[in-house]
């Protein structure tokens, strides 16, 4: 089964690539491919048109754990959309190497790992253990761009025969 078929089977739809508000300009690439490495800049949840998706704010005093986990799930779809645009075919991914999750967290919030689990669950559901297993960091930060509750970056490996 291809990755695209698996996405359809799970009822998941990838958004358009990120679209920033008119007053925000990005000075980086959303995805950088160097040889067989795919470096993915931090992505948050996006609506189907690529615009930022709420809820917005700090976890857990403004955004609940459950809402933040859902935001992380949707951020995974955002990452996949950008990677697909950069490499053409998601089946070229041989391995998810690492994921770095940042949670807009209230000071002392201990459940950042639980928040970023939403991202990891999507990756594992779509790619399976062999390709989707990854090293991971999930840290709380004082603020994130656009007041997003979660931003996730990743490092992937392409198949050498791709």
> Which token pair is 65?
């754990």
pLDDT tens figures, 93-143: 999 999 999 999 999 999 999 999 999 999 999 999 999 999 999 999 999
Domain count, the chain: 1
Residue 161 confidence class, pLDDT cut points 50, 70, 90: confident
Residue 76 lies in a domain: yes
**CATH code for the domain of 59:** 3.30.1330.40
Average pLDDT score, the chain: 96
Residue 14 lies in a domain: no
Residue 141 lies in a domain: yes
Residue 65 lies in a domain: yes
Average pLDDT of span 20-49: 94
Strands 93-104 and 135-141: parallel
Residue 5 lies in a domain: no
């Amino acid at each position: 089964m291809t990755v695209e078929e698996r996405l359809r089977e799970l009822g998941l739809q990838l958004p358009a690539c990120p679209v920033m508000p008119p007053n925000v300009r990005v000075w980086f690439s959303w995805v950088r491919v160097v040889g067989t490495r795919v470096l993915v800049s931090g992505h948050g949840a996006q609506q189907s048109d690529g615009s930022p998706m709420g809820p917005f704010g700090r976890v857990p005093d403004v955004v609940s754990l459950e809402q933040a986990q859902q935001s992380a799930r949707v951020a995974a779809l955002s990452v996949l959309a950008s990677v697909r645009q950069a490499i053409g075919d998601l089946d070229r991914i041989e391995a998810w190497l690492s994921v770095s999750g940042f949670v807009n967290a209230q000071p002392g919030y201990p459940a950042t790992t639980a928040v970023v689990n939403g991202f990891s669950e999507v990756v594992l559901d779509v790619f399976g253990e062999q390709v989707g297993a990854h090293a991971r960091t999930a840290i709380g930060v004082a603020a994130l761009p656009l007041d997003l509750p979660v931003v996730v970056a990743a490092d992937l490996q392409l198949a050498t025969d791709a």
